[in-house]
Amino acid sequence: MATPRHSLALGRPQRYSYVVVLAAGLVGWLAPTWASWVLGPALLLGLVLLGVAHGACDQYVVPATHPALARRPGRYWAVFLGGYLGLAAAVGLLWWWQPGLAVAFFFGLSAWHWGSGDAPAAARYRVQWLTHSFLRGGLLFAVPLWFWLPDTRALTNDLLALAGAAPLRAETLHSVAHWLGPLVLAGYLWLWGSYILTGQRRLAGIDVLETLLLSFLLLALPPLLSASVYFVFWHSLQHVLRMNAVMGQPPSGSGATLRAQLGFFWRRSAPLLAISVAGLAVVYGMAWAHGASGPAFISLALLAASVVTLPHALLVTLGLDAARWRHLGPSPRHGGPERAPVTSLTSNPSAGLSVNFNQQAKPFAA
């Protein structure tokens, strides 16, 4: 039985994220001097319960997308942990060897991961899906570079200083902003035109709305706050709901259901979330004992995130997103029959995800 369409035909209830992003942007616009005090407590709590937690169910991706690889729990866990920790260690070595390259890799991978995570499930063509992914990620970096360049440079240089690398010059970021901004704007005009010409006017309207909403957030708040709001209450929350659908708990529209959704996810993610929080507590405790300051704590959080972004992003792209690709046409100019949009990752058994995931995942359930 197909899963019904949810909010705005995106397969996941986006409106929760819309409300939070709009409210946070209004705080930054109307009370900029109070923004960090108003938003800070919610962001700190959300960074743990959503930001850190949203990757703590990565172990369920392979059983859902490739159940044959997870039939032996012991062997699966050995391969999963070995691969996950091995990729994280490789990123750590990159930080040690070439910290400047590691920062560029982290920002580029984050742009792709955030953008592809937001890519609409209702898109009909791969070129549209890919273009949206690159543009959404580019938007999240282009706006702060254009309008918050000193703050963006300070965050980047603090991260480089933590790794012992030379700081970036303002001229370097200026040049990046001057080519990235127009490229993103031109790309969006092409994408929206492509949606309209291929009969996807509603999808074009949704994308315009989201682009304006995120641009407002990125303009109204400094980069640290705007990126945190997006990461916690847009990217992480929507990934949690997406994973719940994969794990047999499709989202619904009510606030009570949202609480149930979060509870379901936290129960599944509890073991790895507890290990992650304990590890972060040890690292931050050591940094505190050595007299680390506020900027160092922020940079440490970014460095820790960069280490696990590679294995997490690979699982999402090669596992979850690959299911969408199989149901998308190559390009609007490609001939052949029209394909129905995939409105949910669980809306079609042939989308590559096991419809009996709860049965498949029982050995891994928390």
**DSSP track, 7-64:** GGGSSS-THHHHHHHHHHHHHHHH-GGGHHHHHHHHHHHHIIIIIIGGGTTGGGHHHH
State the Cα–Cα distance between residues 69 and 49, nearest whole angstrom: 29
Mind spelling out the 3-state secondary structure of 183-209?
Answer: HHHHHHHHHHHHHHHCCCHHHHHHHHH
Q: Shortest CA distance to 104 belongs to which of 115, 121, 91, 85? A: 91
What is the pTM for the complete model shown?
A: 0.88
Q: Are 114 and 136 in contact (CB under 8 A)?
A: yes
**One-letter identity of residue 296:** A
The whole-angstrom separation of Cα 298 and Cα 74 is: 37
Nearest 5°: the CA angle 61, 347, 356 is 50
Question: What's the token pair of residue 258?
Answer: 């949202």
Cα dist. 123→126, 307, 351 in Å?
8, 31, 14
Q: How far apart are the first and last CA of the chain?
A: 27
Nearest one of 121, 92, 102 to 241, comparing CA atoms: 121
Running along the chain, 366 residues long, what does each successive block of 10 average in pLDDT? 37 81 98 97 97 96 92 94 97 96 96 94 88 97 96 96 92 94 97 96 96 98 98 96 88 69 95 95 90 89 96 95 78 51 37 41 44
Contact yes or no for 23/217 (Cβ under 8 A): no
The alpha-helical segments, DSSP class H, found in the chain are: 15-30, 35-46, 61-65, 73-97, 99-118, 126-147, 149-162, 170-197, 201-220, 223-230, 237-246, 255-289, 294-315, 322-325, 357-360
pLDDT of residue 182: 96
